[in-house]
Structure 1
């Protein structure tokens, strides 16, 4: 196993993780609205998405995407539409905040809500064109083609674990009592900012 390569890939991936984007905003929104466990579920969804990206990169699908760019364009449009849907659903929550307050008051998140967080995290990540390009870039330019399978697997597992751990840390930070109480005092305005971010990000992806 090439430990130097593993460290290089992990470092690059972590730098990409800490750069604010749709994954970060979704984690913050879910942690603020529904609490730490919801943020954790979202983080696990991101990790699953990274695992899928790595799987198709290692499996040679990257070559197929390079050969048929229409595939990437299709995924990009799906991702943009999903971000727009997240934005619209957040705007809808501003008009109908009752469900959110009920969850906060009960101090727990129902299983269905946790599954929603998992699904949102997974879909946001796999449909994020930047995540797709980043993973393809790593496995087609940074990682040599002669790299052995154990090292490739280690890189993929490490990327997934780093993703989950980072966004769990974000969830803990934004689900503390004081932060959430502050959020509730300005809930409508903050949710509006989240909605505008998702709508803007989705629109920009379509226009590019």
Structure 2
């Protein structure tokens, strides 16, 4: 792969990562409620999930998902169910805080550095990527422009590595930006409402995706 081709790949991967969607909502939610560390871990685990699809695509495995409609629908519905679960939990936590019962929200903030919270953040990031087969289709369309018939280990590693680093890096920057010194007080004051809005967005995305699939 030439350097010019790699720059084109880099730009497209960056634009794909910056597109708003459920992944961004999950990163924002975990950052607001669990802190910067959890947000960054969500970003890194999401990048690993995306990297898995990128590697599978570059090896030709994603074609199976793209051509097997039943499998595609099953993964899509599983992803919708997970989004619905995340959204419902977010709305419930936000409602408790807004209604004058912030104990649950405060407890989550207090536990933000515990291994369990960080593991949950890693699970959220990876799962939201892994249960989104549209990522496989995106890379199938993208990599078809860059993968050659005699692609070797270096070329495959470059494709998958670029997608992984760009995705994880972008969402990590989002998490760090949200927890910047000037942003933190505002987030603390409005965290419950952000939680409710993010939860509602996730529920809407889950229901709309399930409806279009069914």
Counterpart of 1:207 in structure 2 is 211
SS in 2 for 1:194: helix
Alignment partners' CA distance in 1, 2:22 and 2:172: 15
SS in 1 for 2:113: coil
SS in 1 for 2:19: coil
Counterpart of 1:160 in structure 2 is 164
Structure 1 residues 84 and 147: CA distance shift in structure 2, 3 A: farther
Q: How far did 1:36 drift?
A: 0.9
Mapped contact 2:81–2:206 kept (Cα < 8 A)? yes
Out of 189, 195, 208, the residue aligned to residue 185 of structure 1 is 189
Matches within 5 A, 1:86-165: 86-94=86-94, 95=96, 97-104=102-109, 109-139=113-143, 141-146=144-149, 148-149=151-152, 150-165=154-169
Could you list the runs of 4 or more consecutive aligned residues of structure 1 that deviate by over 6 angstroms after TM superposition?
none
Q: How far did 1:81 drift?
A: 0.9
Question: CA offsets, 1:10-48, max 9 Å, x none?
Answer: 110100111111111111111111211011110111111
SS in 1 for 2:183: helix
Alignment partners' CA distance in 2, 1:67 and 1:118: 30
1:11 aligns with 2:11: yes
Alignment partners' CA distance in 2, 1:147 and 1:75: 31
Mapped contact 1:103–1:109 kept (Cα < 8 A)? no
Alignment partners' CA distance in 2, 1:170 and 1:55: 24
Aligned alpha-carbon RMSD (Å): 1.9
Structure 1 residues 103 and 70: CA distance shift in structure 2, 3 A: closer
Mapped contact 1:50–1:159 kept (Cα < 8 A)? yes
Alignment partners' CA distance in 2, 1:36 and 1:147: 42
Alignment partners' CA distance in 1, 2:190 and 2:147: 49
Q: How far did 1:105 drift?
A: 5.3
Counterpart of 2:57 in structure 1 is 57
Counterpart of 2:176 in structure 1 is 172
Alignment partners' CA distance in 1, 2:93 and 2:63: 41
Q: How far did 1:103 drift?
A: 4.9
Normalised TM-score (structure 1):
0.90
Alignment partners' CA distance in 2, 1:16 and 1:32: 23
Mapped contact 1:34–1:109 kept (Cα < 8 A)? yes
Counterpart of 1:41 in structure 2 is 41
Mapped contact 1:34–1:100 kept (Cα < 8 A)? no
Aligned length, in residue pairs = 206
Normalised TM-score (structure 2):
0.88
Gap regions ≥5 residues in structure 1: none
